[in-house]
A and B are shown apart, each in its own frame.
Chain A
Amino acid sequence: MSHIGIDAPAVEVRALVRDFRTRGGPPRRALDAFDLTVAPGEVHGLLGPNGAGKTTLCKILSTILLPTSGSAAVHGLDVVADAKRVRPLLGIVFGGERGLYARMTAAQNLRFWAALYGLGRREGRRRAAELLDRVGLAPRADEPVETFSRGMKQRLHLARGLVGDPRVLLLDEPTVGMDPVSAHEFRDLVESLRAEGRAVLLTTHDMAEAEALCDRVSFIDGGRLLRCEDPRVLGELLSRHERVRAAGVPAALAERIAALPGVERVRETGPGAVLVETDRGGAALPVLRTLVEAGVTDVSTAPPTLEEVYLHLIGERGMAVRP
């Protein structure tokens, strides 16, 4: 039997493979020789398009899915052989609205989940109250979950993930459905989890969120690890590929902008409307200047979407789901 390694990586995944059977076809490979290491106390972002293998990885780590081959360990404990000892170390927050008893109140739900982590009634009550307060749901503690908005349910999911006082927290798209204020509060919560020395594996589509929160980010696609980067690389990608949208742009002006240094492409998105994509930091500034000097004032800038960054990282397949 393995022993819990305090100094062992919080998460260590080696050559992990997971195949799913398909009807009448070859197995679909969701994870392909995947490697990952998350240090204790690290906030690690996992970025990838739909079907990339992020949720499959979270499910294997949380012991509800068996790998086809390879290994995954939490604080040195194998998630298959030592699943019973892994579970108390983990908290998992799956995205979406499922996984709660809708007719029970938020407090009743949390007390239920606390009991499943071995907490007695009194301790469970105390823990539920503390967590509801922490995620900002204390005023709604005694209301049925079915009356909650999607964002509130998501916050309750976060509280549920923390109820067992886990050393490792798996957050599978935890801010889906949250309003901007709640998403900001969520970031504060993750910061506090880091300060408490917990490791967090965060899957997300939101690169700005990953950049703000993570110590490292891994890009995953087709079940394979593409790159593991410092989040500052994300920052560079975000600034390097800044986009400018403008309306009321004559064709001749669009041609002039396309010729500016650092402009990668000018796409027509409607009559007189263009989207200018840049490929180096600071390239958006001359574009803006040119537009304004030409009398175009309906202008906005935005960072690239995850899809656009992926176009650069993984090629033209972009966000299309793999067959």
Chain B
Amino acid sequence: MTASSPAFWAAARAQLTEFRRDPGTLLTLATAPFFAVILLSVTEHGGRADLAPYALLAPAVMASIGMAVMEAGETIFRDRSTGVLEAVLTTPAPLTAVLTGRIAAITAVSLVGIAECWLVGALGFGVVVAVEHPLVFALTLLATAAGVAATGMLLAAVFVVGRNVRSFQNSLTFPLYLLGGAMVPVAFLPAGFEALSRLFFLSWATDLLRDSLAPAPVAHFWPRLAAVAGLAAGMFAAASWIAHRMVRRVRRTGTVGFA
């Protein structure tokens, strides 16, 4: 048996254990309901009940991408500072298997944000947003989760190079929310922004998710889903390549154990 598959599942279990032992790592999820309250209050007060799906989807997507930046992005950095990365690299398991396992667990947990926001709508405002196209929603959510995980993996590999990770994390979240169309559909952005955002899987994903909540038929579903999956796959490939390069670099420079 190769070490990849057991390593993936063991890393995922280790990450879930970390969540249980340190609930502070779930802080991003704790903020999602508050954002949902703010946004839904605005739409309800403005008499725009039609925007309720936007108001609930935005904080859920923000929670997921926020977890990718804050938690997934730190995985290698943290393992490096605690000496775990050094030990991982001496084992037969590929680093990408360990990394993917942990980030998959983080992403799965981050999807709890959707349930939180929907509950805020239902219990706090009596607003129940129906999923009009369940298959579209489910498939898009799956592809989105893969993209969020790829984003986390890419950031994890990139953050290793820098030492001031917190500043990067704090600066990155809002540009990602913007380019990903989490709060505002990218079609509403100035032309230059929209063109740039179309290179980011999340802009396609948020449009599709919003469409899946509306009664109107979803136009060009499969090509749009392919765009989400393709861009996510590209990001995953880039993340794997950067992680591989990073390992080569720290082995060459003798800085595996530095943080």
Contact = CB atoms under 8 A, between A and B. Distances in A.
Interface of A: 18, 20-21, 56, 59, 62-66, 84, 87-88, 90, 92, 94, 96, 98-104, 108, 111-121, 124, 144, 160, 164
B89 A63 contact: yes
B256 interface: yes
Contacts, number: 109
A116 B17 contact: no
B87 A160 contact: yes
B7 to A, nearest CB: 5
A119 B90 contact: no
Interface in B38-89: 82-84, 86-89
Contact of A108 (B14, B84, B88): B14
**Max chain B Cβ within 10 angstroms of own Cβ: one of A18, A56, A102, A124:** A102
A112 B10 contact: yes
Interface SS of chain B:
helix
B247 to A, nearest CB: 9
B90 A124 contact: no
30 contacts: A21-B253, A64-B86, A65-B256, A87-B90, A94-B86, A94-B87, A96-B83, A100-B82, A100-B83, A100-B84, A103-B18, A104-B17, A108-B14, A113-B91, A115-B3, A115-B6, A115-B7, A115-B11, A116-B3, A116-B6, A116-B7, A116-B92, A116-B98, A117-B93, A118-B1, A118-B92, A119-B6, A144-B21, A164-B91, A164-B92
Among all A-B residue pairs, the 10 with the closest Cβ atoms: A98-B83, A115-B10, A103-B21, A115-B6, A118-B3, A116-B93, A116-B91, A99-B83, A99-B87, A62-B90
A113 B88 CA distance: 8
Contact of A92 (B90, B253, B257): B90
B90 A120 contact: no
A20 B254 contact: yes
Contacts of B251: 63-66
A239 to B, nearest CB: 38
**Max chain A Cβ within 10 angstroms of own Cβ: one of B2, B17, B83, B254:** B254
A103 B13 CA distance: 13
A116 B83 contact: no
A148 to B, nearest CB: 15
A64 B249 CA distance: 11
A133 B109 CA distance: 34
A200 B85 CA distance: 23
A116 B88 contact: yes
Nearest to B253: A21
B137 interface: no
A164 B84 CA distance: 16
A102 B21 CA distance: 10
A53 to B, nearest CB: 12
A254 B3 CA distance: 66
Interface string B4-28: 0011011101100110011000000
A87 B7 CA distance: 15
Contacts of A99: 82-84, 86-87
A112 B14 contact: yes
Contacts of A119: 6
Given A21-B253, A113-B91, A119-B6, 19 more contacts: A56-B254, A59-B256, A64-B251, A84-B92, A87-B91, A98-B84, A101-B18, A103-B17, A103-B21, A114-B10, A115-B7, A115-B9, A115-B93, A116-B10, A116-B92, A118-B2, A118-B3, A121-B6, A164-B91
